[in-house]
Amino acid sequence: MDTYTVLLVDDEEEVIQVIMKKINWEGVGFSVIGHAGNGVKALELVEEYQPDVVMTDIKMPYMDGLELSTRIKAEFPETKILFFTGFDEFEYAREAVHLEVEEYILKPVNSMELVNVFTQLKLKLDQEISEKRNVEILEKYYMESLPLLQRNFYTTLLEGRISEKELSGYLSDYRISFSGPCFCCLVIHTSSSQVPENMNPLLLSTSVQKQAEEHLGRRWQARCFPYLGNTILIAQLKREEEISELTDECERFCRYARHMIGAVVTVGIGVVCKNILELAHSYSSAREALSYRVIYGTSKAINMKEIVPQEGEKSELKSDVELSELFKKICLGSETEIVGAVDHYLHHISFSEKSLQQYHIHVMELVTALYRFSVNHEIVSEAFAGNMKMQYNRLSDLEPGALRKWLIELSFSFREELLHVQSRSMKSFISRAKEYVESNYMDEDLSLDGVCRFLGVSNSYFSTIFKKETGNSFIGYLTDYRMDQASRLLIETNEKSYIIAKQVGYTDPNYFSYVFKRRFGVSPSRYRTEHVKRED
């Protein structure tokens, strides 16, 4: 049985205590999570706890029940509102039909009536939850999110993170059909430096994707989606020999894009595979083919099989995948997983399977990849502080055991540095928020939404991180900071309390006095008198 939460709001403490004791809350399926003496405090509690029901009086200081209900319905529309009020305010409350208030209860509160109201309210909440869980509704939500789920599946497939055991389940759940029997990955790159005048590069890339879907998608039953700044097509072929025809069509598409929309498009064409689980290899080779545009030029299709000898190709692709896996483990895995990834990678560049020349090439690629990884992740490493050529020569002469030890130790140090970088980033994030408060605390409109817009993050993420790092909610921190500034101004200046209230972001001097007393235990005037005397 679902238990729902209730927040009680009344400026008379004894009324709240009576209501809390009048009924067996657990027996009717509810629990009281808190209570507040005014609308402002109630709104803070609603933002923090998001109760299912708010039972509120109408006439209260600082923010009355009608305004509180309006704010709650705007920000938390699922929350149910109950009014309990005196007879003279009853008709006034009933006029507020736009608030979608569940019930109006007259004071003094009758326990039997209260039980009946919450019993009926629980039935309504149960029904709403049941409807949300309804299979047909869930199916509708699922179908709306299906394109995104499919795109995530395709990218995960290209990253080689789907096992054979998982494949059939994903295809069934995401309603994907791959008839094949052969597959090939295309990477379509749109130049961002050669763009028609007055054309946004992002819009141009989007236009290229749409044109690719129309010109290549239908003929090759291709799955088309954006990934890492490029457009990806997973093409299906009836025979492996059709790769030549596909290459020609891609070549024509590059010329079409240049002529019709002024886009400089290059297509990298990966190796053909007969199992969609091998698309990670095809994607890797397509990216490599695309990199050859610095040699062969742009506005053309580059087929990996045509520019690189077929012998040894599979092994090259496999080692590239294993190296990517190592970097993923450095970012997200445990030390044990890192060691496993190092061993998998080194197995593919061992002397038993490579010539000495190939081994040296792999070591050079390893050093380059590690250096690029450290730069991209702002890692300062002694391993790359010296001469890169000397580093490469030293590693090329290491025996397998020594190379393994070096790579494991370096991977561990990268992992440790990443953790420090993340920690520093989080602290910098909180510092920026505090600096924003210091610069804007006098603004009465300063809010959680405002600081989140400034930082460019969601409210939920910011609130979680801020509370974790400071031990206080953002609203609590802002209030404390304003009160600290107010106490300083009370001692250092002769300004009136209402002026100081405005200087620290409060337009209502009465509410300012209420918050100040809640923080320091005395009124602003009493605080000034006590501290000025003490200093004298």
Closest CA to 499 of 507, 491, 406: 507
In a domain, 510, yes or no: yes
The widest CA-to-CA distance across the chain, in whole angstroms, is 96
Mean pLDDT, all residues of the chain = 82
Residue 370 burial by Cβ neighbours in a 10 Å radius (0-12, 13-18, 19+): buried
Question: For residue 173, what are the contacts with CB-CB under 8 A and spacing of at least 6?
Answer: 149
In a domain, 494, yes or no: yes
Q: Which of 308, 329, 364 is the last residue of a domain?
A: 308
Report pLDDT digits (tens) over 327-347: 878 877 788 888 888 888 887
Look up residue 58 and give its two tokens: 């109408």
Percent of the chain with pLDDT strictly greater than 90: 28
pLDDT band at 314 (very low <50, low <70, confident <90, very high): very low
In a domain, 373, yes or no: yes
Report pLDDT digits (tens) over 301-312: 888 777 654 333
**262 and 321 fall within a common domain:** no
Report pLDDT digits (tens) over 219-235: 898 889 999 889 999 99
In a domain, 477, yes or no: yes
**205 and 298 fall within a common domain:** yes
Q: What is the pLDDT of residue 91?
A: 62
Residue 459 has pLDDT above 90, yes or no: no
Q: What is the pLDDT of residue 417?
A: 76
In a domain, 123, yes or no: yes
User: The domain that contains 53 carries what CATH number?
Assistant: 3.40.50.2300
**460 and 487 fall within a common domain:** yes
| Residue bearing tokens 């309504």 | 124
Average pLDDT of 171-183?
87
In a domain, 221, yes or no: yes
**164 and 55 fall within a common domain:** no
Paired sense of beta strands 230-237 and 223-227, if any: antiparallel
User: The domain that contains 267 carries what CATH number?
Assistant: 3.30.70.270
**243 and 353 fall within a common domain:** no
Q: What is the pLDDT of residue 145?
A: 82
**407 and 301 fall within a common domain:** no
Average pLDDT of 236-264?
89
Residue 522 has pLDDT above 90, yes or no: yes
In a domain, 366, yes or no: yes
**381 and 250 fall within a common domain:** no
**196 and 299 fall within a common domain:** yes
Residue 536 has pLDDT above 60, yes or no: no
Side-chain half-sphere CA neighbours of 355 within 13 A: 4
**194 and 291 fall within a common domain:** yes
**10 and 54 fall within a common domain:** yes
Long-range contacts: 13-21, Cβ < 8 Å, 24+? 13/37, 15/57, 15/107, 15/109, 18/109, 19/55, 19/84, 19/109, 19/114
How many structural domains are present in the chain? 4
Question: For residue 12, what are the contacts with CB-CB under 8 A and spacing of at least 6?
Answer: 57
Report pLDDT digits (tens) over 7-58: 999 988 888 998 888 889 999 999 999 999 999 999 999 999 999 999 998 8
Paired sense of beta strands 30-36 and 80-85, if any: unpaired
Is the pTM of the predicted complex or chain greater than 0.75?
Answer: no
Greater model confidence, 143 or 212? 212
pLDDT band at 482 (very low <50, low <70, confident <90, very high): very high
- Secondary structure of the chain: what % helix, strand, coil (to 5)? 65, 10, 25
Q: Are 346 and 404 in contact (CB under 8 A)?
A: yes
**304 and 320 fall within a common domain:** no
In a domain, 429, yes or no: no
Q: Domain range for residue 14?
A: 4-132
